[in-house]
Amino acid sequence: MRPFGYAAPATVDQAVGLLEAEGSEALAGGTDLLSLLKDDVERVDRLVALRGVPGLSGIELDGGMLRVGAMTTLQELRDDDGAIAALPALAVAIDGVASPQLRAMGTVGGDLLQRPRCWYYRRGFGLLALAADGRSMVADGDNRYHAIFPEGEARFVNPSSLAPLLVALGAEAVVHGPAGERRLPVEALYRAPQAAGERENTLAPGELLVGVEANVEGSRSAVYEVRQRRALDWPLMAAAVSLTGSGPRTERARIVLGHAAPVPHVATAAADVLSGQELTPETVAAAANAAVEGARPMSGNRYKVQLARTAVRRALGRAAGMEI
Amino acid sequence: MTDDAKRSGLSRRSFLRGGAAGALSGGLAAGLLTGEAAGAAAATDAEAPDTVGPGPVEIELEVNGATRRLAVEPRVTLLDGLRDRLDVTGPKRVCDRGTCGACTVLEDGRPIYACSRLMIESAGRSITTVEGLGSPDAMHDVQQAFVENDAQQCGYCTPGFVVATAALLARHPAPSEQEIEAGLGGNLCRCGTYKGIRAVVEGAGGGGVSGG
């Protein structure tokens, strides 16, 4: 690693002040950032250590509202019986980070804001991985794990384990910055960059994700991941669903794909198919097909379209408590 | 956050800078995500902390029960600091990217990848490596069980696996099949000694092995 400075703020405000300076990066669990620094993919002048900042770590279940501090480790959240009982799908999403060491070190905020796993990005070719002649290295190259919903030249996938579920629940991200606090839907944390140097998240310099809040009451939710390896790897595809409505009919559905697009992919058409409908093998199959409408797979990832259908179908089955 | 974590946060801060720790006394849970805790703390501690490094920084941490004091650059990982500076070479540097588990150590009792933690982040904390579990003359139950079950071949992954196994058994003294896979999913063995390692952990159900 190149040399860098290190500051350990005692408050969120101090952290924000330090992060405003150019070349400063927040250090959470470090499991992603340190690898990027070792590989010289990212460079920093100073790391702002969040580990000792009070107020950034903790879990609260207040009525149906689950609040989790950004520096809460994945294992702390997994071990919180109240949170898991209120939102069982959380266990599936966390267990998908399939290494106890990563769960012990990795944080909720770090999971949400980890950088993409695209191997062109990780080799230093940038998030868009454009060759000198402007052609996409991803489209021309090995894209087996890349997006089936690319946005412009952004062809990497959002790697977060928690984001699909949180987006399906309509969770909010709480962000502190130089101008104070702002809240935004978790999906608004993400964007597909379109120019070199643009990031895949929407945080401004000095802004810090301090936590997330989700209403976990009144809906049935589930996560299903399709995996190549059961340990130490990201899933190939994931679907998270959240269903509201009493009785057999679904009033409102939210269906979100992970590892499918540069951002958590909200499958609106699939959700519309289920609106006002009973979950049956037929309606679920129709939703699964609608979830991949508009998919534009590349040379090596056509298989992920079928994985997406399967993930949606099985996540819906889990949420409804039925084998589909 | 647990009381434990709060404590280590405090001691860690004082180990780094001689204590600007007063701000930590504010309530944590009540202010979570509401800005109250942050605001209250800021009022009592408005001064921004010093940036240390990139040169060496004095830190203190506990390694296998002994207090160690050394000066490390912030960029030095816990793994490199243990091996190169403190001559604690049990944790192995294999992938150095948090994807193999050979560097697994316990930090305040929790299994972590030492390659993916800056040593300065472990200041004020307690580190246990495979050397801290037991010695060749007085082996830890898990170490003894690895020997008895021939659970190693080339041996590079073994120190990490032993520490991860001890951590698993501390949480689950008689782990289920699923708990074994989840608990050891963060370690790889390229020789394929999984059968022996599984025998170690399954033997634990009989009471012969404990995580302690």
Structure tokens at B133: 């579990």
Chain A, chain B: beta-carbon pairs less than 8 Å apart? 184
Out of A1, A57, A98, name the one closest to residue B75 (CB): A1
Whose CA is closest to A310, among A225, A230, A185, A249?
A: A225
Say if the Cβ atoms of B37 and A5 lie within 8 Å: no
Quote the radius of gyration of chain A (alpha carbons, Å).
19
Q: Is the pLDDT of residue B24 over 50?
A: no
The edge-to-edge listing of strands for the beta sheet with A208-215 is A59-62, A65-69, A208-215, A172-177, A180-185
Whose CA is closest to B130, among B185, B100, B76, B167?
A: B167
Indicate the pLDDT class of residue B207, thresholds 50, 70 and 90.
low
Say if the Cβ atoms of A75 and B110 lie within 8 Å: yes
Q: Provide the pLDDT for residue B3.
A: 41
Tens digit of each residue's pLDDT (9 = 90 or more) over A202-249: 999 999 999 999 999 989 999 999 999 888 899 999 999 999 987 778
Structure tokens at B183: 């608990």
Q: Residue A185 — φ and ψ, nearest 5°?
A: -60, 145
Out of A8, A27, A67, name the one closest to residue B33 (CB): A67
Say if the Cβ atoms of B185 and A231 lie within 8 Å: yes
What is the span of the domain harbouring residue B24?
A: 3-44
Tens digit of each residue's pLDDT (9 = 90 or more) over A4-55: 999 999 999 999 999 999 999 999 999 999 999 999 999 999 999 999 999 9
How far lies B36's CA from each of A95, A113, B29, in Å? 32, 24, 10
Q: Provide the pLDDT for residue A151.
A: 97
Does a structural domain hold residue B185? no
Task: Please state, in angstroms and rounded to a whole number, the distance separating the CA atoms of residues B69 and B171.
Answer: 30
Say if the Cβ atoms of A60 and B16 lie within 8 Å: no
- The total of other beta-carbon atoms located within 10 Å of residue A295's CB is 20
Phi-psi region of B211 (alpha: psi -120 to 50; beta: other; left: phi over 0): alpha
Does a structural domain hold residue B25? yes
Q: What angle do CA B46, B50, B56 make, to 5 degrees?
A: 160
What average pLDDT is seen over chain A?
Answer: 96
* Domain count of the fold of chain B: 1
Q: Which of B3, B33, B172 should be substituted to probe chain A, the one whose Cβ sees the most A Cβ atoms within 10 Å? A: B33
Quote the radius of gyration of chain B (alpha carbons, Å).
19
Min CA distance, B71 vs chain A (Å)? 14
Tens digit of each residue's pLDDT (9 = 90 or more) over A162-207: 999 999 999 999 999 999 999 999 999 999 999 988 999 999 999 9
Out of A54, A95, A105, name the one closest to residue B112 (CB): A105
Greater confidence (B70 vs B12) lies with B70
Min CA distance, B88 vs chain A (Å)? 20
Indicate the pLDDT class of residue B48, thresholds 50, 70 and 90.
confident
Say if the Cβ atoms of B13 and A14 lie within 8 Å: no
Contact A93, A256 (CB under 8 A): no
What do you get for the CA distance between the two ends of chain A, in Å?
49
Greater confidence (A290 vs B178) lies with A290
Tens digit of each residue's pLDDT (9 = 90 or more) over A143-160: 999 999 999 999 999 999
- A100 in reach of chain B (CB within 8 A): yes
Q: Indicate the domain borders of chain A.
A: 5-320
Indicate the pLDDT class of residue A98, thresholds 50, 70 and 90.
confident
Q: Is the pLDDT of residue A128 over 70?
A: yes
In words, the CATH class of domain A5-320 is: alpha beta
Q: What residues in B contact A209, CB-CB < 8 Å?
A: none
Tens digit of each residue's pLDDT (9 = 90 or more) over A252-292: 999 999 999 999 999 999 999 999 999 999 999 999 999 99
The edge-to-edge listing of strands for the beta sheet with A5-7 is A24-27, A46-49, A5-7, B51-52
Indicate the pLDDT class of residue B33, thresholds 50, 70 and 90.
low
The edge-to-edge listing of strands for the beta sheet with A265-266 is A220-226, A237-244, A252-258, A265-266
Does a structural domain hold residue B40? yes
